[in-house]
């Protein structure tokens, strides 16, 4: 578009505000505004300024082929596919509403809606009529008779379908889990021309806004998520008047089993607890294995105790009785009598110790201090006479241990102490027994020469006993750690979970959880 002013010619393009640089028609209205039809819509020119209206319907964004003005100051516009009646002031102000634009079609008496694509396909005569050239002839409109009726259109929801199945509108609507296609059917009633009724609809919780006006009488949604929704629809009459009232229907898409909140919560909780569940299963398996081993060991001890009672102890008791009889037959001044009495006393001591040993074989002591007492006797068993400073440290309240765990812990601790006394050349050795709610911990420390790194990694056959200690720890579900540096001492730590280590209220030493 080129315009001449006192300073010369000026050309206006799309970059200057035109919807398109391709200008198709021009029209000057009664107030001096130049209307410019382009290949992409309409614009106005006044005061050396081009203004294109915003937020116009799609029909006003088509190629414009003709513009005219009626006696009421409204514009009649012919586009490629529509005949439009537009309120001029609203178009200038850029504040178009649904009632500001009306589309005319075959139902309104037009022979066709597609305009002849040539200049001035719309013209107003001196009588106030507006003439249109269409692809099928001339049509004429009388704006004086085109006043909009005030009777609004009524809208009613006829039916709701889920995957082709009609649902009852008389009660709450529930779509079963897995519903893929949801369809709403509705109808609008207008007293003037029901064929021109248009609809707008929206689905709350899904659509961001109202749909574009349409003549379709159904709306379809696919794969709606689980939740509660409300479908809303409104209608306009033949003059484009929206009644403002809506027809609505609420419904719910029910969740499948795996979509329920409690299923998701249970699944997440199971995932969160899975490490603990696996741990508990392993602990139960370990406890079952320990119980089997304990019962086997207890049965073996009982058999050995019975054999010792029936053979060795009975023989010693018989010999003691013979010595008693022999001593009674000797006179009091016999030199042999004191010797027989001394031998008899030794025999009685052996019998008492044997009975105590048999009792220990037949039962498992529940004394929680037995482990510390056993560790306290180790230096004497190894022949140490105080050359090494040795102490047993107990932390926490001693608790009864599973007999088999106690035996294995003692063997591991004893092996570590034997290594320290024999190989560490240490001046100080200590063993710490710690009872906590989470575990039993035994640590052996010395300030000796340390362990060679090669032995520390994998042990050496016939030396230190490290592989055996690790195997024993694994069998009872414990963890063995060893720290050592040359000439900086050694620490051996054994940790056994409380589930395995501590003996619960049970019979025959069997662990229960």
**Segment 344-380, tens digit of pLDDT:** 777 777 776 666 555 554 545 555 678 888 899 888 8
Is 251 in contact with 161 (CB distance < 8 Å)? no
Q: What is the pLDDT of residue 402?
A: 82
Q: What count of other Cβ atoms lies within 10 Å of the Cβ of residue 282?
A: 14
CA of residue 95 relative to chain centroid, distance = 48
Start-to-end Cα distance in the chain: 93
Predicted local confidence at residue 305, as pLDDT: 64
pTM more than 0.75 = no
- How many Å apart are CA 180 and CA 173, to the nearest integer? 16
CATH superfamily of this structure's domain 2-145: YVTN repeat-like/Quinoprotein amine dehydrogenase (2.130.10.10)
Q: What pLDDT shows up at residue 511?
A: 44
pLDDT of residue 99: 64
Distance of CA 479 to the CA centre of its chain: 33
- For residue 444, what pLDDT is reported? 95
Structure confidence at residue 266 (pLDDT) = 86
Say which residue the tokens 């139902």 belong to: 107
DSSP-assigned beta bridge partners for residue 167: 160
Give the phi and the psi of residue 353 in degrees, each rounded to 5.
Answer: -65, -35
Cβ neighbours around 139 below 10 Å, total: 18
Segment 230-241, tens digit of pLDDT = 999 998 876 666
Nearest CA among 245, 248, 217 for reference residue 153: 245
Structure tokens at 482: 């060893």
- Residue 374 has φ and ψ, to the nearest 5°, of -65, -40
Residues of the chain short of pLDDT 70, as ranges, are 95, 97-99, 105-120, 135, 145-152, 191-195, 238-241, 243-244, 290, 294, 296-299, 301-314, 352-368, 385, 455-464, 504-513
The residue among 330, 312, 310, 332 whose CA lies nearest residue 320 is: 312
Give the CATH fold of the 154-258 domain: Immunoglobulin-like (2.60.40)
- 407: tokens are 């035996």
Task: Match 């507006």 to its residue by tokens.
Answer: 130
For the domain bounded by 370-501, which CATH number is listed?
3.30.565.10
Q: Where are the domains of the chain?
A: 2-145, 154-258, 261-362, 370-501
């Amino acid at each position: 578009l080129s315009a001449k002013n006192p300073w010369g010619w000026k050309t206006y393009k799309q970059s200057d505000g035109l919807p398109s640089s391709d200008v198709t028609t021009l029209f000057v209205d009664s107030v001096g505004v130049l209307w410019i039809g382009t290949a992409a819509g309409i614009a106005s020119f006044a005061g050396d300024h081009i203004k294109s209206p915003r937020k116009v319907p799609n029909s006003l964004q088509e190629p414009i082929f003709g513009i005219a003005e009626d006696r009421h100051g409204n514009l009649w516009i012919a586009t490629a596919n529509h005949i439009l009646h537009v309120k001029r002031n609203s178009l200038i102000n850029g504040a178009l509403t649904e009632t500001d634009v009306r589309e005319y079609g075959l139902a309104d008496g037009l022979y066709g809606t597609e305009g002849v694509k040539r200049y001035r396909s719309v013209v107003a005569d001196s009588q106030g009529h507006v003439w249109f050239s269409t692809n099928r002839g001339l049509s004429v409109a009388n704006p004086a008779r085109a006043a909009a009726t005030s009777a609004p259109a009524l809208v009613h929801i006829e039916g709701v379908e889920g995957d082709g199945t009609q649902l009852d509108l008389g009660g709450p609507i529930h779509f079963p889990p897995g519903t893929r296609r949801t369809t709403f059917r509705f109808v609008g009633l207008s007293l003037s021309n029901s064929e021109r009724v248009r609809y707008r609809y929206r689905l709350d919780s899904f659509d961001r806004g109202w749909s574009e006006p349409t003549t379709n009488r159904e709306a379809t949604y696919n794969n709606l998520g689980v939740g509660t929704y409300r479908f809303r629809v409104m209608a306009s009459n033949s003059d484009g008047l929206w009644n403002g009232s809506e027809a609505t229907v609420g419904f719910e898409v029910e969740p499948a089993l795996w979509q329920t909140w409690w299923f998701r919560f249970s699944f997440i909780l199971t995932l969160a607890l899975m490490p603990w569940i696996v741990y508990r299963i392993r602990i139960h398996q370990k406890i079952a294995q320990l119980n089997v081993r304990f019962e086997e060991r207890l049965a073996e001890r009982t058999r050995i105790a019975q054999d010792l009672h029936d053979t060795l102890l009975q023989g010693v008791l018989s010999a003691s009785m013979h010595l008693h009889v022999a001593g009674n037959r000797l006179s009091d001044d016999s030199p042999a009598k004191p010797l027989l009495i001394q031998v008899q006393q030794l025999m009685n001591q052996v019998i008492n110790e044997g009975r105590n040993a048999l009792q220990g074989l037949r039962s498992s002591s529940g004394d929680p201090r037995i482990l510390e007492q056993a560790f306290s006797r180790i230096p004497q068993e190894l022949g140490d006479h105080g050359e090494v400073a040795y102490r047993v440290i107990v932390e926490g309240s001693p608790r009864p241990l599973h007999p088999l765990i106690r035996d294995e812990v003692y063997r591991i601790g004893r092996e570590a102490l034997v290594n320290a006394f024999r190989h560490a050349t240490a001046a100080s050795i200590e063993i710490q027994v710690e009872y906590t709610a989470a575990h039993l911990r035994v640590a052996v420390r010395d300030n000796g020469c340390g362990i060679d790194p090669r032995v520390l990694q994998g042990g050496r056959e016939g030396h230190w006993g490290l592989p055996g200690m690790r195997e024993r720890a694994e069998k009872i579900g414990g963890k063995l750690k060893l720290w050592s540096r040359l000439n900086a001492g050694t620490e051996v730590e054994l940790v056994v979970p409380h589930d395995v280590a501590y003996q619960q209220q049970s019979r025959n030493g069997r662990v229960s959880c």
